[in-house]
Structure 1
Amino acid sequence: MTTATPPHDAPASPSGAHDAARAVSAARTAQAAWDGLGFAGRRKVLKAWCALILQRSDELVDLIRAETGKTADDARLEVVLAAHHLRWNAVHAARALGRRRVSPGLLMFNHAVEVIHRPLGVVGVIGPWNYPAFIPVGPVSAALAGGNTVVLKPSELTPRTGEWLAATLAEVTGRLRVLHVVTGDGTAGEALCRAGVDKIAFTGSSATARRVLAACADRMTPAVIEGGGKDAMIVAADADLDAAADAAVWAAMTNAGQTCVGLERVYAVDTVADRFLDLVTERAAALRVGDGPDADFGRITLPRQLEVIADQVRDAVARGARAVLGGPQSVTPPYVAPIVLADVPEDAAAVTEETFGPVLVVNRVSSVAEAVERANAGGYGLGASVFTRDRGSGRGVAAGLRAGMVSVNAVIAFAGMPAVPFGGVGDSGFGRVHGPDGLREFTRTQAITSQRFRPPLQPASFRRRPGTMPALVRLVRTLYGR
């Protein structure tokens, strides 16, 4: 889950860039043996890794907190989600990727057809700093479950979390090292893209995603990209306002707003906008910021993001927005207290660009239709949410939103469901992680047809009889011409 300007990349450093080729070579050496374990063997290993992570979850929680500054509960939630998705990939890979029979159709009835999914080989995963365990574990475990080996390049802000994940898996696999780690800054990530991997899975800012794709282009290396987001919530006139406000504040402020599918914009219908804004402000004002045990969220992990947040808030206020809670003064490094802005112009950076901080914009609209139009107006298309008591109507509104995932009467629900594909459109990227779609991202699909007997008509031959093609046309007209 990501940022926009690109806060997923710290200043350049050459550290680790030269290790990429070596790591890819080592991963490729191990790949055949790992693939040879089959789905059952890999399932056993990955389930054991999941169990080990949970047994030592306190270690991982402490490590995540030390590297990111998030609260203990935010780190615990991350570990739970990582284990949940890892376990799902381990258990469901065989069903999603196993051999399946396909009908050949009436014209080719003499053939048997099956589709198989084969591993790509070595997958490179470039992870972010905001969820340094949960986000990489998705593509890492999907790639491993499908028979690939993996080279992980964690963010330079959270390298120890990536190394911990690889070390715990190595405890399970022993000599068969199937997950290698390359640490360093953007140069290490670029080196991994150029090191001959068979696919890249990237999570980070949209700006950095473009650089990743440029590096991949040299070798025509395919990539699955999760870029930034500017997720919107639509609050209909019949919404449960208390539930919507509670969800909005959590989705906007959890992990200090450093979540790619975190809520950044709300469009509330006029008749309920004032009451909704009051409820949001009341709940956000009660939140506690800091590194103590009673804090609701912690620091901003990347120092330069503090200025991005302050600039967006100052710009919005200068353009006529109301700072209902907080304002530029809420930025007190390394923390940002909750900020709620209302009536923000739609062309302000606080509406169009990813903020990646605990800032929530609440704008009023005349109708749900106008809310959908505004929500779809930007370049991003990651997640969204809709609140209405009419779930049927909510699903209809969701279908009209240009977003990869939409929750009705909830927020970010899709991220907690490992069977649900996760990914965006537009500047938010392409491809999917999680679910069967995410498993298949890291395989190549192969169709195998086998002729069982020679058919009466043989059009695919220069020795066909003179009447073969007219007979074939008559057959097709009989089957499909009505």
Structure 2
Amino acid sequence: MTSLTVDRPTTFDVHSPATGTVVGTYPSHDELAVEAAVDRAHGAATWWRTAGFAERARRLDRWRAEITRGRDELADLVHAEMGKPRSDAKLEIVMALEHLKWAARHAEKVLGPRSVTPSLLTLNHACRVEYRPFGVVGVIGPWNYPVFTPLSSISFALAAGNTVVFKPSEYSTGVGVWLADAFARAVPEHPVLQVVTGGGDTGAALCRSRVGKIGFTGSTETGKRVLAACAQRLTPVLMECGGKDALIVDADADLRAAADAALWGGMSNAGQTCLGVERVYVHTDVYDAFLTELLDQTRELRAGSGDAKIGPITMPKQLEVIRRHIDDAIARGGRALLGGLDAIEGQFVQPTILVDVPEDSAAVTEETFGPTLVVTRVATMDEAVERVNDSDYGLGATVFARRHGQAIADRIESGGTSINAFVAHATIPTLPLGGVGASGFGRVHGPDGLREFTYAKATTRQRFPSPLALTTFTRSAAIDSAVDRLVSVLHGRIG
């Protein structure tokens, strides 16, 4: 079973953010239901771990094929539950499949046992390190990328040999259930991947349960509550939290490409992207030309239903955040070159471009999570880097420059930076993804993402007795003297 039932369960509805209609009803699983799921996951953990890397890869490949065959249905479900245009939902599914394939194919190489070299004082030992799964991993997923983001944790945790209990967002629950049902068709023998559904109480129960680790993606404020709940059992946590990402445009940048990247980075998914562009810093020499290009590309872009390229705001309460940020920016001297307060139409927000906004305004310092861009003139790239780094967040960044892109990127304090392309580092399976500061800690994707769901185990085997036996009460003064002379040779001739 991929979803749970309890006696007389309370339920909740998932509503389409575009129309308000109910698109699904699911049980609100309580602490007992969550604990039961975790117990079943522990029961399946030995079977899944001992299946080995090759067999797990075969099963994950079957899951990938199930998702691929059902991608139209899955994209429709993403569109219905959180409003994303179907074409963008399909793009999200494609990215998820790429990372799932990479995790399955590379887990053994990254996590398998390997020999390491001992030091001169311990040459009599053979040394080995391997990466062991935690057993059961709990994953709490977001609604804004309900396929790509949770699979970044789920697929890597599964490839590493863990079973998983997944709590999808209450705004995109059906997507999580669909993914688990697809997995059950690929792995029908045991409950290797299960779903528990509900709101914050269900997530809190998962944090307090006997999982070996929690993989969380969501807002920074919710992340703090997750950390507090996990602290009760000292459960380690992977935290993928919010962002306030910036895009830098140098004087020699390709302005058409930079404007296109800023537009997609800021407006796609209605701006509801942790890695989305919310701040743009442009060299004064090309500031006016960049704004002209950006406005030209934006004028025909509209939010709406049907075939519109920008969908609705999924969470109703986020509209107030967007409204407050725009209002604060304009009240403090900012100007809306496009959009503004009248851009908010029900659950839809039209693209908004703000300029002359003070750096200490909410629109610059807080995560907006809406289709807005704050574009700011800077005199130098030094000023641009300083302003980018003057933030509590450090998730990602983008730099457009022909000559000094790498030098600029190297100075940005973030988990990843892409040069002359928006968020490319998040789409490449071999690269780690994660943030610093208020954007969280830990990594998904790549070798770091696989190791995130394991613990390192070191093993030594004494091959022969050491002539310098150190860890014994029979150690002689002669041995102490020999070790003292050896230490002087090894470490005392530096500098």
Q: Which amino acid aligns with 1:469?
A: D
**Aligned residue number for residue 453 of structure 1:** 464
- Pick from 395, 416, 421 the counterpart of residue 382 of structure 1: 395
Is the Cα contact below 8 Å between 1:14 and 1:188 reproduced in 2? no
**Aligned residue number for residue 55 of structure 2:** 41
CA distance in 2, matches of 1:307, 1:31: 44
Q: Which amino acid aligns with 2:449?
A: G
**Aligned residue number for residue 240 of structure 2:** 226
**Aligned residue number for residue 254 of structure 1:** 268
**Aligned residue number for residue 425 of structure 1:** 436
Matched, 1:112 2:130: no
Matched, 1:403 2:411: no
**Aligned residue number for residue 322 of structure 1:** 335
Matched, 1:27 2:41: yes
**Aligned residue number for residue 10 of structure 1:** none
Q: Which amino acid aligns with 2:82?
A: T
For structure 1, which segment, 143-152 or 280-289, has the greater mean C-alpha deviation from structure 2 after superposition?
A: 280-289
Q: Which has the higher contact order (CA 8 A, sep 6+)?
A: 1
Matched, 1:76 2:87: no
Q: Which amino acid aligns with 2:491?
A: Y
**Aligned residue number for residue 13 of structure 2:** none
**Aligned residue number for residue 143 of structure 2:** 129
Superposed CA offset, 1:195-214 (max 9, x none): 11111010000000000011
Shift of 1:465: 2.9
Matched, 1:434 2:450: no
**Aligned residue number for residue 469 of structure 1:** 480
Give unpaired runs (5+ residues) of structure 2: 1-16, 18-25
CA distance in 2, matches of 1:396, 1:23: 49
Q: Secondary structure at the match of 2:489?
A: helix
Q: Secondary structure at the match of 1:347?
A: coil
- Pick from 194, 201, 207 the counterpart of residue 187 of structure 1: 201
CA distance in 2, matches of 1:387, 1:182: 43
Superposed CA offset, 1:353-390 (max 9, x none): 00101100000111111111111111111000111101
CA distance in 2, matches of 1:334, 1:479: 68
For structure 1, which segment, 203-212 or 281-290, has the greater mean C-alpha deviation from structure 2 after superposition?
A: 281-290
Shift of 1:15: 1.8
Is the Cα contact below 8 Å between 2:93 and 2:148 reproduced in 1? yes
Matched, 1:281 2:295: yes
Q: Secondary structure at the match of 1:324?
A: strand
CA distance in 2, matches of 1:40, 1:236: 47
CA distance in 1, matches of 2:191, 2:40: 8
CA distance in 2, matches of 1:307, 1:452: 67
CA distance in 1, matches of 2:253, 2:284: 12
CA distance in 1, matches of 2:279, 2:361: 12
**Aligned residue number for residue 3 of structure 1:** none
Shift of 1:467: 1.2
Give unpaired runs (5+ residues) of structure 1: 1-6, 8-12
Matched, 1:91 2:105: yes
Q: Secondary structure at the match of 2:455?
A: strand
For structure 1, which segment, 433-442 or 450-459, has the greater mean C-alpha deviation from structure 2 after superposition?
A: 450-459
Q: Which amino acid aligns with 2:161?
A: G
CA distance in 2, matches of 1:153, 1:370: 42
CA distance in 2, matches of 1:324, 1:205: 29
**Aligned residue number for residue 344 of structure 1:** 357
Shift of 1:14: 8.9
Is the Cα contact below 8 Å between 2:27 and 2:197 reproduced in 1? no
CA distance in 2, matches of 1:354, 1:282: 26
Matched, 1:235 2:246: no
Shift of 1:36: 1.0
Q: Which amino acid aligns with 1:350?
A: A
- Pick from 79, 92, 116 the counterpart of residue 65 of structure 1: 79
Q: Which amino acid aligns with 2:342?
A: Q
Shift of 1:464: 2.2
Aligned Cα root-mean-square deviation (Å) = 1.3
State, as a whole percentage, how many aligned pairs show the same letter: 54
Q: Secondary structure at the match of 1:143?
A: helix
Superposed CA offset, 1:249-279 (max 9, x none): 0111111111100000011111111111111
Is the Cα contact below 8 Å between 1:17 and 1:189 reproduced in 2? no
Q: Which amino acid aligns with 1:457?
A: L
CA distance in 1, matches of 2:282, 2:294: 12
Task: Using structure 1 for the length normalisation, give the TM-score.
Answer: 0.95
Is the Cα contact below 8 Å between 1:14 and 1:185 reproduced in 2? no
CA distance in 2, matches of 1:277, 1:406: 23
CA distance in 1, matches of 2:43, 2:90: 35
- Misfit runs of 4+, over 4 Å: none
Matched, 1:244 2:255: no
